[in-house]
Structures are given as C-alpha cells and as structure tokens.
Structure 1
C-alpha cells in the first residue's frame, strides 16, 4: 500500500463525532454548558458513543473559542502530534487561539478499546475555517484521539492529525511509488503483539522474536527490525487483532496494514527521538521520528506514534499513526 508525503499544514482539533455538519449556532451554549464535562465520570466500559459525545463537546468548545472548556477536556500530560511538531497541552491551546472554525463534518468513525481505562477514536473531518487569518484548504483530515480514565474522569491524552492524500492516477498496489509514507504504515503494522509472536512461533519459528521486548520502545524497534528483514509474520504478530493505523491514504485495520508493508523496502529508513508517555497503568504512547528516501531519492521525515499495551508482560500495538513533516502551521 502506498503512502503519499504531504507537506501541508495541519490544524489542531481534538475532536470527532458521528457524521454530521455543524455551524456556529449553539456552539457557545454547548461549550459553556460543558465546560466541566471532562470532570464527569464515564463508566469503565466506555463505548464509541461515549467518546463521540465527548469529542463533540470538545469541538464545540473550539468553535466557541471557550478555551477553559477546551482545556478541561485535556489531561495535563496530553500529547498533540501534527505536521510541524509535537506539542503539550499549553502549546496546543495557544495554537488553537489562531484558529477560527465555522463549520465541520465528521465521518468514518472507528473505535478501539485498548483496556478498561483507555480507548482510541479515529475519524475523518472536513471543515470551513481559517488559521491566523488565512483560509484552510478544506481537504479531508484524518484524526485520532486517545481518551483515558484518570481517577474516574475521562480525559484526552493524545491526538494526531494527518492530511488525506489521493493515490496517483493509475498507480497499482504493487508499485513502490512512495516508500517514505509506507514507513509510517510500516511502523503501525509492526506495532507489536508479542503474545501473538509467541503464538505464531510454533507455526513459523522465524516469525517470533528471540526474546520478548521489555519496553514499548524496544517493541517499536523490534517492529522495524522485522520490516527491514521482510519478516512479515513477526511484524503481524506484534499487532493486536483490533489494531488501527492512520496514514495519509486512510485508516487501516490489521490486515490492511500487514498487506501494505509487503510492498516496500524499509532497509534505508532510520528512527530517532523516541519518547514514551504513560497513558494508564499498562499502556504507553511512543512517539518518534522516521527518516528515509522518497521515490526520487530525496530525504523526507515523518512523525510516528504508537499506543502499546502490556498484557502479562507482552507488548501489543493497538494504534499507530504517521504524519509527514512540514514546517509551520
């Protein structure tokens, strides 16, 4: 599966909801009424509908420019990943103050429950808006947010955005037209289900790592090792069965991720700047940079993120996203 490198500015938006079009009408009322909604407890058995409702409240707060309401939905250690950088809660809020949203739609909502205290919601958005006084392009944007139960309060702990890009006309699935973006895809697919690796060992000994990674960063690196050696069984074994991946060409399930990485050569891609952020007692977000050649030999960079969960000492990858790097919003 190909990936296109998009050098486009991404707007900050920590939201998603069922397919619907919204205008500013009622935004202030909703945002003010829900200023403290983040402090409202949600049952441990969180559902897609629960998170859609919270995402809608977040988006309405952004439209109304009610920054207190917006901030109330975010964890203090929240991580935002966009094309031009990785930001904390304070910087994300400051950037949004240049953003004027007037209309938006959401579609293709997908939901992954990592554990009782963590879930991910992914979606496609379109919008009418300006940033720093300049109109945005209005093109579809792929978004993902992770929500965690912190002391009975569900808060947003992670958000990432990637501009959608269409495949080149006439491009076939087996054409290696974009090895760089595939690096992003590769990463997710490699996101590891170590337990799966052990399960597959009996059927295919070469598909299982020599030893289970001890940290999520080790697991991430093991995924890349599998990709570079074209050990697709090992790669697939790292992924949870319900895993999702967000790339410039769309949102993919586990099978789509596994098939996609078979089309690319990852041997020349390098990873750096790994950082771990604890999301709950047994889940961790790993963010890092990927650098490698595009089809024309130009060096390109991408920002990668993976949500890992530890089950009985074995790391599984439940979510991955890749965003091409660009400078400036």
Structure 2
C-alpha cells in the first residue's frame, strides 16, 4: 500500500509540474531574442578579420589584444590558450587567407557568435599544409565596452 501511495504522489507531482509548462505546441521561446546593433556586428567582424591579418603579418601584440584572457582555441590537436596560439602561429608560414559568408549571431546582450568559411594557405612549422578549406566560428563577449574573442573552433569543409 505504501508503494502505491508513493507512486500516486510521484505521478501527481509530475502531472502538476507538466501542467505548469506553457507549451502551446510551438517550440519557439517566449523570451525576446537578443538584438545587436549594426555597429557591434561590424566591430566583431572587423576584430575577427584582424585576427587573421595579425596572424599572417605576425603582429602578435595586436592579436593578443583581441583575445580575452580566458580565451580557448578548440582544435583537433587540443585546446589552446592565447599564448599557445601565438606560439603556434609564430612558427607558421601564413601565405594567404580569404573569409566568406560571414555571419554574426547575437546570443545575449553582450555575447555573439561569428561564423564563416575560410580558404587558407598556411604551412605549419613541420612543413605540412593546413587544411585549405574550413568552417570557423568564434564567440565574442563585450567586456567594459570592448568585444573580445573568448572561443574559437574550426572544422574541415567536406
């Protein structure tokens, strides 16, 4: 009998929880989506393109200024902190790059994802060419009025 009472109580609790949900069959959120100013979108795009240019021209002090202290680059070879990224890039031959299909998606008032396609001509210190076509994305956070890259990831294009 105790088990039956416990099962009924649990069932009632679950039904009450579900009854509090306001799901009308539409999976869209009722919370307003974040809106980003055109200027912020342009600033993020400018900073992301600058990362590529500073990598190519080996202006690592300028590159480091865009990367947040808590930045993580997520690569197939593992996670990289800003110092790891700069160390790796200092040993590469960065001949050329081209970014296309650039999109910026706000995810919160001070957080956005930029994603795009990359055509790159880069050779590592070991003499091996990097994958020429990748899809890349970065997460930017606005701190004290400045947009900083906090995360980067890329994957090969099929």
Please, what TM-score do these two structures have when normalized by structure 1?
0.35
Aligned residue for 1:103? 96
**C-alpha contact (below 8 Å) 2:71/2:151 kept by paired residues:** yes
| Residue 135 of structure 2 is aligned to residue 142 of structure 1 | yes
Aligned residue for 2:58? 65
**Given the superposition, is the C-alpha separation of residues 141 and 64 from structure 1 closer, same or farther in structure 2, using an over 3 Å criterion?**
same
CA offsets, 1:170-222, max 9 Å, x none? xxxxxxxxxxxxxxxxxxxxxxxxxxxxxxxxxxxxxxxxxxxxxxxxxxxxx
Aligned residue for 2:155? 162
Pick the structure with greater CA Rg. 2
Distance across 2 between alignment mates of 1:107 and 1:97: 25
| Residue 117 of structure 2 is aligned to residue 117 of structure 1 | no
Distance across 1 between alignment mates of 2:78 and 2:151: 14
Structure 1 unmatched ranges of 5 or more: 1-43, 166-329
Aligned residue for 2:67? 74
CA offsets, 1:43-79, max 9 Å, x none? x735432211111222111111111111111100101
**Given the superposition, is the C-alpha separation of residues 138 and 84 from structure 1 closer, same or farther in structure 2, using an over 3 Å criterion?**
closer
Aligned residue for 2:19? none
CA offsets, 1:264-292, max 9 Å, x none? xxxxxxxxxxxxxxxxxxxxxxxxxxxxx
Instruction: After TM superposition, give the deviation of residue 99 of structure 1 in Å.
Output: 1.8
More helix by share: 2
Distance across 2 between alignment mates of 1:53 and 1:154: 10
TM alignment of 1:204-215, pairs within 5 A: none
Instruction: After TM superposition, give the deviation of residue 135 of structure 1 in Å.
Output: 4.4
Report the number of matched residues: 122
Instruction: After TM superposition, give the deviation of residue 151 of structure 1 in Å.
Output: 1.1
Which ranges of 4 or more aligned residues in structure 1 deviate by more than 4 Å? none
Q: Quick one: which of 48, 59, 76 aligns to 1:55?
A: 48
Aligned residue for 1:86? 79
CA offsets, 1:93-152, max 9 Å, x none? 212212221111111212210112111100110111211051415531111011111111
**Counterpart of 2:69 in 1: which secondary structure?**
strand
TM alignment of 1:219-258, pairs within 5 A: none
Aligned residue for 2:8? none
Structure 2 unmatched ranges of 5 or more: 1-35
Distance across 2 between alignment mates of 1:51 and 1:58: 11
**Given the superposition, is the C-alpha separation of residues 60 and 73 from structure 1 closer, same or farther in structure 2, using an over 3 Å criterion?**
same
Aligned residue for 2:29? none
Please, what TM-score do these two structures have when normalized by structure 2?
0.70
Distance across 2 between alignment mates of 1:137 and 1:145: 19
